[in-house]
């Protein structure tokens, strides 16, 4: 058993790294685990471009010491807040450099088990180490939640895969491949696979695949008024979801779930518009049956009007996205799973990101049903890091200085909380008035 720690962060993508940077700024004892930027470096296709603009692709650190713009400037990489697509390999390299500068204490090993313990959690690592933590932050991204149509699951695994299983598509050169899906992942996978020599057909239930048009730059005044820019895209809805995650929190759960499912619309990036025209498409069909015939995967398709088609390929890639389900988090022990309340299949959270299991926090895409579409984007790291770090700072203060706290109502508390203003009549932070609970 190693030394206990106040806070353990599980996941070292943009959300985990930004939270670690913020905890370090507050001087909070923590450890962070996982291969840095693993999903971006190993589970996204080489050659991909990010849909998010440069201005929305920086991992958050409170002092803005290391933004994507600064990284690109240091390496003479073309960059613009708007209009120049961010290359995946540049963003991944930026994330790795962010980790070295802002979260140098990262431990490159996996958390394999988290159980409830006495006054906290018992954590086991793939290295064989075990230790206790008072608080745990789950920031694992989307990798555990990949969704594959159930009709494919019974078939031999070598004939189908999920789009996130591949970082290189040249293994499919000269092979016949069917892509399933109608969103950005399907568009990207189909285009990149076609361009590296694969024979591609894309199948989607939707009658049309939307691909964005290029934004007019510099933006005319009318465009700015009608479609104000936000971290998750242009438009007043996007601006609201980006700027007001705490207001989104108070919407009815049915409304929140419906918004998260529909916004933003699944669409390819503008830079794929011409390239996507060259991909063969079968639109308006869904899969009715899948079977193996002579080392080929054969699909029976049916349209809304009842017409059928037969297609076959050597491999099928399901670019069908991700569905949040806390039961897919295999490292969470049975006791935690029983105690963990959910909304739909995602965790039920306070406005500070804390679950029904005291001390267990979630950040990133798993919180989208709580805080809105913002949680699915890199730009959401600011909200998550600020919110969770502030709450843990106060919780640590309550545990360490209970008498001083009771006498001072936080005023003069000997804890560094550089961003909190105590501006209410009873001395409580304004943030806690709308937070619901400590």
Across 175-179, average pLDDT: 98
Lowest mean pLDDT among 179-188, 232-241, 424-433: 424-433
Split at pLDDT 50, 70, 90, the class of 119 is confident
Q: Could you give the CA distance from residue 338 to residue 324 in angstroms, rounded to a whole number?
A: 17
Can you state the percent helix, strand and coil of the chain, rounding each to 5? Answer: 35, 20, 45
The string over 390-413, giving b where at least 16 C-beta atoms fall within 10 Å of a residue's C-beta and e elsewhere, is: bbbbbbbbeeebeeebeeeebeeb
Q: What is the pLDDT of residue 134?
A: 96
Q: What is the pLDDT of residue 405?
A: 47
Q: Which CATH class is domain 5-145+323-405?
A: alpha beta
Lowest mean pLDDT among 352-366, 399-413, 418-432: 418-432
Do 385 and 19 form a contact (C-beta atoms < 8 A)? yes
Statement: residue 81 has pLDDT above 70: yes
5-145+323-405 against 157-211+267-318: fold identical: yes
335 token code pair: 């006791």
**Which is nearest to 346 in space by CA: 363, 322, 329, 369?**
369
Statement: residue 424 has pLDDT above 70: no
Q: What is the pLDDT of residue 416?
A: 43
Q: What is the pLDDT of residue 397?
A: 74
Q: Could you give the CA distance from residue 401 to residue 399 in angstroms, rounded to a whole number?
A: 6
Domain boundaries of the chain, sorted by first residue: 5-145+323-405, 157-211+267-318
The per-residue pLDDT for range 392-416, each reduced to its tens digit, is 999 887 666 555 544 444 333 344 4
Q: What is the pLDDT of residue 398?
A: 65
Statement: residue 1 has pLDDT above 60: no
Q: What is the pLDDT of residue 2?
A: 59
Lowest mean pLDDT among 54-58, 109-113, 304-308, 375-379: 304-308
pTM of the shown model: 0.90
Please provide the DSSP assignment of 282-349 as one string: EESEEEEEEEEETTEEEEEEEETTS-EEEEEESEEEE---B---GGG-TTB-HHHHHH--EETTEEP-
Q: What is the pLDDT of residue 395?
A: 87
Size of the chain, expressed as the number of residues it contains: 438
The per-residue pLDDT for range 315-333, each reduced to its tens digit, is 999 999 999 999 999 999 9
Fold of 157-211+267-318: FAD/NAD(P)-binding domain (3.50.50)
Q: If you compute the radius of gyration of the chain from its CA atoms, what whole number of angstroms results?
A: 23
Statement: residue 152 has pLDDT above 70: yes
Lowest mean pLDDT among 202-206, 250-254, 320-324, 396-400: 396-400
């Amino acid at each position: 058993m190693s030394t206990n720690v106040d806070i353990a962060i599980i996941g070292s993508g943009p959300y985990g790294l930004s939270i670690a940077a913020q905890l370090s700024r507050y001087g909070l004892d923590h450890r962070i685990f996982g291969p840095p930027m693993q999903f971006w470096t190993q589970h996204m296709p080489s050659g991909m471009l990010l849909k998010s603009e440069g201005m929305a692709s920086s991992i958050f650190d409170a002092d803005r010491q290391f933004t994507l713009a600064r990284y690109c400037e240091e390496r003479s990489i073309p960059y613009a807040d708007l209009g120049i697509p961010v290359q995946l390999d540049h963003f991944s390299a930026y994330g790795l450099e962010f980790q070295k500068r802002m979260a140098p204490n990262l431990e490159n090993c996996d958390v394999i088990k988290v159980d409830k313990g006495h006054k906290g959690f018992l954590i086991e690592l793939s290295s064989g180490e075990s230790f206790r933590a008072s608080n745990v932050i789950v920031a694992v991204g989307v990798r555990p939640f990949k969704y594959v149509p159930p009709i494919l699951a019974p078939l031999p695994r070598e004939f189908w895969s999920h789009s996130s299983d591949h970082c290189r598509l040249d293994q499919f050169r000269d092979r016949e491949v069917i892509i399933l899906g109608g969103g950005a992942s399907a568009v990207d996978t189909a285009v990149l696979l076609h361009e590296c020599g694969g024979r591609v057909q894309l199948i989607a239930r939707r009658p049309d695949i939307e691909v964005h048009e290029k934004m007019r730059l510099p933006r005319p005044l009318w465009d700015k008024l009608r479609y104000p820019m936000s971290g998750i895209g242009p438009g007043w809805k996007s601006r609201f979801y980006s700027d007001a995650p705490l207001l989104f929190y108070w919407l009815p759960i049915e409304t929140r779930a419906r918004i998260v499912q529909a916004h933003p619309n699944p669409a390819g990036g503008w830079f794929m518009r011409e390239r996507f025209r060259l991909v063969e498409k079968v639109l308006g069909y869904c899969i009715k049956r899948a079977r193996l015939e002579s080392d080929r995967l054969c699909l029976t398709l049916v349209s809304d009007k009842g017409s059928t088609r037969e297609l076959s390929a050597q491999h099928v890639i399901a670019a069908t996205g991700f569905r949040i389900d806390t039961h897919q988090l295999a490292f969470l022990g049975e006791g935690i799973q029983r105690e963990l309340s959910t909304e739909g299949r995602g965790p039920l959270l306070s406005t500070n990101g804390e679950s029904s299991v005291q001390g267990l926090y979630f950040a990133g895409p798993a919180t989208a049903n709580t805080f809105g579409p913002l949680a699915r984007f890199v730009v959401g790291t600011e909200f998550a890091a600020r919110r969770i770090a502030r709450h843990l700072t106060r919780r640590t203060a309550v545990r360490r200085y209970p008498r001083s706290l009771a006498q001072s109502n936080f005023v003069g508390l000997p804890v560094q909380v550089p961003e909190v203003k105590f501006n209410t009549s009873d001395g409580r932070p304004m943030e806690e008035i709308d937070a619901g609970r400590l």
